[in-house]
Amino acid sequence: MGRGHGICQRAAEVEPRRYLGSRVCPNGPTRGIPEPISSVVRARISASSTTLLVIIYHVLPRGTTYQELGADFLDRLEPERLTRQLVKRLEALGHKVTLEACPAA
């Protein structure tokens, strides 16, 4: 693993609730990476490195600053899609799911 992977890994461990942190540890922060590094962890670190390169590619030419969107950005972008995915997962586990709209607060 190159130097860039280590930088992404450390950044993600420090800030698990940010977008890059969610790419490495989608289920929350960990207490450290087990030795030897598993292929799943390698893939997650590689994904965060790729994401970092895409961010740099878009930010540098425009001369703007990076705006952190948060780990739940995609969930907030399409909440109906997230609802469908979660219902399918619960049904796959053998649960019967009935959804009701919450009253407006």
Q: What is the pLDDT of residues 69-85, one digit of tens each?
A: 887 888 889 999 999 99
Locate 96 and state its tokens: 């019967």
Q: Is 34 helix (H, G, I), strand (E, B) or coil?
A: coil
pLDDT at 15 over 90: no
pLDDT score for 50 = 81
Q: Which of 67, 69, 54, 83 is nearest to 22 (CA)?
A: 69
Phi-psi domain of 94 (left: phi exceeds 0; alpha: psi -120 through 50; beta: other): left
At position 35, the amino acid (one-letter code) is E
pLDDT score for 80 = 92
Position 104 confidence tier, pLDDT thresholds 50, 70, 90: confident
* Alpha carbons 19 and 34: distance in angstroms, whole number: 23
pLDDT score for 68 = 82
Largest CA distance in the chain: 51
pLDDT tens across 27-67, in order? 554 555 555 566 766 676 677 778 788 888 888 899 888 88
Running DSSP on this structure, what letter comes out for residue 103?
P
* Alpha carbons 10 and 7: distance in angstroms, whole number: 5
At position 19, the amino acid (one-letter code) is Y
Domain chopping of the chain, boundaries: 3-73
